[in-house]
Amino acid sequence: MKIPTQISGNIVYLDTPAVFAFYIVKTNAHYPLALVCNEDDVCIGVIGSYEVDPDRINISTLTCGEICNREFTFLKDKDEDSLYRDARNIFAEKAIRTLPVLNEHRNPVGLFGRWQAFFLENYKTLPYFNYAHGLLCSAKQAKEKGYERISTIEFGVASGRGLINLERYAKEISRLIGIGIDVYGFDSGGGLFAPSDYRDCPQIWIEGEYKMDIAALKEKLYNANLIIGDICETTKTFLEKYNPAPIAFISIDVDHYKPCVAILDMLLGDDKYFIPMPLIYFDDIPDQVQFQGEYLAIKEFNAKSEFIKISPEYSGFNTLFYHSENDMSVWKQPNVVSRIKYLHRFKHPKYASTRKTKNNISIF
């Protein structure tokens, strides 16, 4: 059996050095679990944080077969509703973060995380939680406005970590909100181009950075649409060529001014391609580039468009850090959500409230 590419990074074998499993457990935020297989890809054990705890065991000379837990809990490959039900029941009883999903021959076909079973309670602790937050808010808005399907886009895919996370979160949000979600990723594939002038932040970016391994990324994606090419050109034809479901959430991480302008120009398209107030996450808007890059593109966009505006136009944040609420050893950047802005489409036919009741002020 061929193990699905999306979980192949969690697979080790009996003779694999245990340090490889240690790396998987310590670096995989979603599924910190190594699945130990024999030569027939039958899962015979798992390795989690307990098995590689350096205070308990020295793994430097051991193999995965020597340290794995062979009496492990797993999920049988079933329909989606059954998987979620069974997973919640197991997580309620056991303090574990990830369950392997095995077929009738005990071959691994998937992984199921506690974050999936309890997404709404846990999404703010996940990598790229700003993606989860922005997409969740926009999906709720779309559902309230009567949409059955929406699109979400990441501009600037690079290694693909963000797009992989966006695809995972889209699946969970689609299930929870009851709305279809299509995922798109735009990238040149060749990394950053050379900055043309001061507006492209030449003091920060270098030509060729963030080059993509296109073939490797495609193997890790499930259904996301990867659009490779110069963003300044692909954005010109995207709406008519792909006829996407109304766009609800966008992430812009293109670093330079020029492609950001092209993306924002695309947002001036017909209302049928957008929900009334899409959310946009801008990755590169620190205070020091207020007159360059994405910030400059936002300012110019608002000046050229009378009835489509990005709000707030300017909201800066410094580079101070704060501790995680649950773990004082973990540092986080502040105000990540403050980089999420709203695209008000004032002329959109569904922009006005759909509420049926009025908010009355009591007089006393």
The whole-number pLDDT of residue 65 equals 96
List the domain boundaries for the chain. Answer: 5-115, 118-345
Continuous H helices in 6-47: 18-27
Nearest to 353 by CA among 258, 248, 276: 276
Confidence of residue 316 (pLDDT cuts 50, 70, 90): low
The whole-number pLDDT of residue 336 equals 60
Beta bridge partners of 69: 46
Confidence of residue 320 (pLDDT cuts 50, 70, 90): very low
3-state secondary structure of 12: strand
Whole-angstrom distance, CA of residue 3 vs CA of residue 1: 6
Domain 5-115 has CATH 3.30.1360.20: no
Instruction: Fill in the DSSP letter of residue 199.
Output: G
The whole-number pLDDT of residue 195 equals 85
Write down the CATH number for the domain with range 118-345.
3.40.50.150
Mean pLDDT (the chain) is 90
* Percent of residues, the chain, with pLDDT higher than 70: 90
Q: What is the CA radius of gyration of the chain?
A: 23
pTM for the model stands at 0.88
pLDDT tens for 191-238 read 888 888 888 888 888 877 888 899 999 999 999 999 999 999 999 999
Instruction: Output b/e per residue, 26-38; b: 16+ Cβ within 10 A.
Output: eebebbbbbbbbe
pLDDT tens for 340-355 read 999 999 999 999 877 6
Dihedral (CA of 118, 124, 266, 271) sign: positive
pLDDT tens for 18-43 read 999 999 999 999 999 999 999 999 99
pLDDT at 141 over 70: yes
Q: Are strands 108-113 and 98-102 parallel, antiparallel or unpaired?
A: antiparallel
The whole-number pLDDT of residue 355 equals 61
Identical topology for domains 5-115 and 118-345: no
* Percent of residues, the chain, with pLDDT higher than 90: 72
User: Which of 44-48, 59-63, 197-201 is predicted with the least confidence, judged by mean pLDDT?
Assistant: 197-201
Instruction: Fill in the DSSP letter of residue 244.
Output: P
Whole-angstrom distance, CA of residue 312 vs CA of residue 252: 16
